[in-house]
Amino acid sequence: MPVAMAFATSLLLAFVIVATQRLHGHFTHDGQTGVQKLHKAPTPRIGGVALLGGTVMGGTALPDEAQDLWWLILLSGAPAFVFGLTEDLTKRVGVKTRLLATIIAGLIFCLASGYHINRLGIPGLDFMFGLWLPAVLFTAFAIGGIANAINIIDGVNGLASGTSIIILSGFAILAWQVGDGPILGACLVGIGALAGFFLMNFPMGKIFLGDAGAYATGFVLAVVAVALPMRNPDLSPLIGLLALSYPVIETMVSIHRRLVRSGTHPGQADRLHLHSLIYRSRALHLARLFGAPNLRNAATGLIVMTLPLISCVLMVAFATNTALILAAIAVILLVYLRVYRRVALLRRTDTDAERRVGTAGT
C-alpha cells in the first residue's frame, strides 16, 4: 500500500505538471542554455514537487513503527528541498548555498535521529569516528556530498531516478533480510515515488527532477546509507559507499578534472561527465543502429545504469564483509576509469558523426 500510494501520487502530480506547463513554464522550465544541457526543448524542472507529494502520501500509509523515522527523514531534508526548489524557480541560488543547505539538512538528521557514521571497519580510522563531534560533522558533510552527487548525475533521462531506484532496492533487500521494518518502509516509499516520476521522465524526458528532486533524493539515499548499518551492526558500515559508488566516483572525478586538469571552479558545469561522453559516443552509435535518434538520451541512461546495478548486486552479496566491500569498491572504480578513458578517447572521432545525426534525441 505505501508503494502504491507513493507511486500513484507522484505519477499524477508529474502528469499534471507536464499538462499545465503552459501556465507555469515561465518559472519552471529548464532552458537549453548551458554546456551540460542535452535536451532540445524547454522542460519543467520541478519533478521534486511530484516526489514530495508521493513521499508524503506514501508515508501516511506506513505502519506506525515506520512513520516516526520516515517523517524525521522528510523534515530533516527540508533545507535541501527548499533551497533546491528555490533554484528551480528563480535560477538564483548559488552552488555553495545549495551545498551548505544539504550539509545543514544532514546535520539536522544526525542530531535529531542520533544516527551518524561511528565506524568504518578499517583499522586506524575507527578511532576518529569514535569521537562524537568529528563523526557527526563528517556524516553531515558526507550526506551533503551525496545529495550533490545525485544532482551531478542528473543529466540524461532516467539516469538519476533510475540509479536511485536501483540503490534503494538494494537497501530494501538488506533491510528485509535483517528485519528492519522502518528502513524497509522508507526504501519502498522512496522507490514508489521515484517510479511514478520515472514514467514521465523516461524515455522522452517530459519532466526533470530539478535541483529539489535531485537533492532530496540524494539526501534520502545518504541517510538510509548511514542509518541502515548503524541500526544493524552485523552489516558492514561501508555498504552505502559501495551502493553509491557510481555517483561518488563521478563527483570525485569531476572535482579533480575541474580543479587539476581544467583549472576551473569545482562547481563549474562541463560536458565531460561519463553520461555526457557516452551520449556523444556509444549512445550515438546505438541511435544510428536502431534508427531511433530520439531515444539517444534514454539509451545513455540505460548504459550508465549498469554501474549502480553492479554495485548494488555486490553490496547485497558482500553486505557483512568489509574487506570484500572494499574490494568491490575498488573494482567499480577501475571499471569506471576504464570506461571513462575509453569513451573520452572516442569523443573526437564521434564529433563529426554527431553533427551528421543532426536532430539526435532529447
Q: Is residue 216 part of a domain?
A: yes
Residue 158 has pLDDT above 90, yes or no: yes
Residue 360 has pLDDT above 50, yes or no: no
Range with the poorest average pLDDT among 24-38, 301-315, 330-344: 24-38
Whether 346 and 278 have beta carbons less than 8 Å apart is answered as no
| Residues near 280 by beta carbon (within 8 Å), at least 6 away in sequence | 271, 347, 350, 351, 354
| Secondary structure (3-state) at 43 | strand
Q: What is the pLDDT confidence band of residue 1, given thresholds at 50, 70 and 90?
A: confident
Range with the poorest average pLDDT among 6-15, 171-180, 209-218, 345-354: 345-354
Instruction: Look up residue 100 and give its amino acid.
Output: L
More confident residue, 128 or 273: 273
Residues 122, 224, 234: CA angle, nearest 5 degrees: 45
Q: What is the mean pLDDT of the chain?
A: 90
Whether 258 and 117 have beta carbons less than 8 Å apart is answered as no
Q: Tell me which residue range forms the domain holding 98.
A: 2-357
Q: Is residue 362 part of a domain?
A: no
Q: Is residue 279 part of a domain?
A: yes
Residue 29 has pLDDT above 90, yes or no: yes
Q: Is residue 332 part of a domain?
A: yes
Phi, psi of 350 (to 5 degrees): -90, -10
Nearest to 316 by CA among 177, 223, 217, 220: 177
Q: What is the pLDDT confidence band of residue 266, given thresholds at 50, 70 and 90?
A: low
Total domains, the chain: 1
pTM: 0.91
Range with the poorest average pLDDT among 23-27, 267-271, 337-341, 342-346: 267-271
pLDDT of residue 54: 98
Q: Is residue 166 part of a domain?
A: yes
Q: Is residue 67 part of a domain?
A: yes
Task: Give me the mean pLDDT over the 129-138 stretch.
Answer: 91
Q: Is residue 41 part of a domain?
A: yes
pLDDT tens by residue, 34-72: 554 555 688 999 999 999 999 999 999 999 989 999 999
Cα(295)–Cα(206) distance, integer angstroms: 13
pLDDT tens by residue, 168-218: 999 999 999 999 999 999 999 999 999 999 999 998 899 999 999 999 999
pLDDT tens by residue, 140-157: 999 999 999 999 999 899
pLDDT of residue 200: 97
Phi, psi of 44 (to 5 degrees): -60, 135
More confident residue, 35 or 303: 303
Cα(221)–Cα(164) distance, integer angstroms: 7
Burial 322-347 (b: 16+ CB within 10 A, else e): bebbbebbeebbebbeebbeebeebe
Task: Give me the mean pLDDT over the 285-312 stretch.
Answer: 87
Q: What is the pLDDT confidence band of residue 127, given thresholds at 50, 70 and 90?
A: confident
